[in-house]
A and B are shown apart, each in its own frame.
Chain A
Amino acid sequence: MKKLLVLLLLAVVGYSLITAMMGVKFGENRLGDPQDEKTVSAYYLNNTTQKLSVSNVITAIVVNYRGLDTLGEVSVLFLASLGLGSILYRKHKEGEEEVAILKPSSQLLQAGSKLIFPAILMLGAYVFIHGHLTPGGGFQGGAIIATGFLLMMMAYQDYRVSHSVLVWVESLAGITFAGIGMWGLLLGNTFLENFLPIGTLNNLFSGGIIPIIYIAVGFKVAAELTGVLDTLLNIKDKH
């Protein structure tokens, strides 16, 4: 009976979604004429290269046009890692035997992960440093770095990341982001205004504050994801 009800609900939801999507043609150019800028997307595509000298338009949207939104987003990540720590915290009772949930890994995995761990860190750093030139950016690079730490945690059970270092990295990156925003407010008119020279298109040092903010976001995301993984993997349970 309950299953039937759920299937009925799913049919209603599916039907309404399908009828809504009937009017949206796949692959249709909805930007309008690129020259007369009727949509916000056309504005971004037309003006990003001249006004910000950033080749990756998505980076320009995420960090510059919607920079305040990204600041909120990294705060949500920070809240998630904070909430995870406080929800999972528990006092250690005396005489309680605790077992780790991870099983010992083979020597092959241990040797191999030691070999590729620096390469993963370098790839992550490359992705967030070149976030304004190539696909990728702070969030993606930070996630790549966190996967490197995940590999090390899976391979070595006694691998520990120092939480105080993570907190410092995270706080400094967050302060850099907010501080650059306030600096723009002091020097210009608005929060997160671009106050540095924008340079030439497709150079590493171009785009003003955008690469700096994305590098800070990369460090912040890497520290937060590593902290979350460390908290979740090191849950000890009663024997």
Chain B
Amino acid sequence: MDLDYNQIMSIGVYGSAIGLILIGLYAVLIKKHLTKIVIGLSIIDAGIHLLFIAIGYIKGGTAPIFSPAGEKIVANGGVMVDPVPQALVLTAIVIGFAVTAVALSLVIRLYRHHQTARIDQIKSLKW
């Protein structure tokens, strides 16, 4: 089986992005400790960001900044990568930070109340 550049790169980059999403989902669904669940959410975030950036990449493209160096590359027939996914990921990273911070504070609150952060030991969840 012969693989060209595009196939190798798509397996590598898309594969690792999807792999990160699946690892994070696994941690969220299986792990019992609340801190590990929050870490799983962060891993899902990282996978989605990687997927976004990978979709916006153009082969041989440079960063979309028209500094003197970037303008020289464009004048010589080079291309710039898609700026829109990068701007969206900038937003998504900040929102991911906010989600992680609030989730961690809820974990701390639960720990204070139940003296444990393991969801299988929090009795009031069972009925």
Contact = CB atoms under 8 A, between A and B. Distances in A.
Interface of A: 2-3, 6, 9-10, 13-14, 17-18, 21, 24-31, 34, 40-41, 44-45, 48-49, 55-58, 61-62, 66, 69-70, 73, 76-77, 79-81, 83-84, 87-88, 90, 133-135, 137, 139, 201-202, 221, 225, 228, 231-232, 235, 237
A100 to B, nearest CB: 15
Contacts of A134: 65, 67
B73 interface: no
Contacts of A137: 90
Nearest to B18: A17
A73 B57 contact: no
Given A55-B65, A77-B98, A84-B105, A27 B83 contact: no
Given A14-B22, A45-B80, A26 B57 contact: yes
Contact of B79 (A3, A29, A55, A139): A29
Interface of B, helix, strand, loop or mixed by DSSP: helix
Given A13-B25, A58-B64, A201-B66, A28 B94 contact: no
B5 to A, nearest CB: 8
Contacts of A45: 64, 80, 83
Contacts of B14: 18, 21, 24, 26
B122 interface: no
**In which size bucket is the chain B interface?**
35 or more
A58 B86 CA distance: 7
A83 B108 CA distance: 13
B70 A84 contact: no
Nearest to A62: B87
B119 interface: no
A192 to B, nearest CB: 15
Contact of A25 (B6, B25, B82, B83): B6
Interface in B60-89: 60, 63-68, 70, 79-80, 82-84, 86-87
Contacts of A57: 64-66, 80, 83
Contact of A202 (B64, B67, B102): B67
B64 A27 contact: no
Contact of B26 (A6, A44, A80): A6
Contact of B109 (A13, A27, A88): A88
A211 B9 CA distance: 37
A58 B29 contact: no
Contacts of B5: 27
A14 B60 CA distance: 29
A61 B87 contact: yes
Nearest to A76: B98
B6 A87 contact: no
Given A10-B25, A83-B105, A26 B6 contact: yes
Nearest to A7: B26
B104 interface: yes
Given A40-B84, A58-B83, A87-B106, A31 B58 contact: yes
B91 A73 contact: yes
Contacts of B22: 10, 13-14
A128 to B, nearest CB: 13
Interface centre among B22, B26, B68, B105, by most chain A C-beta atoms within 10 angstroms, is B105
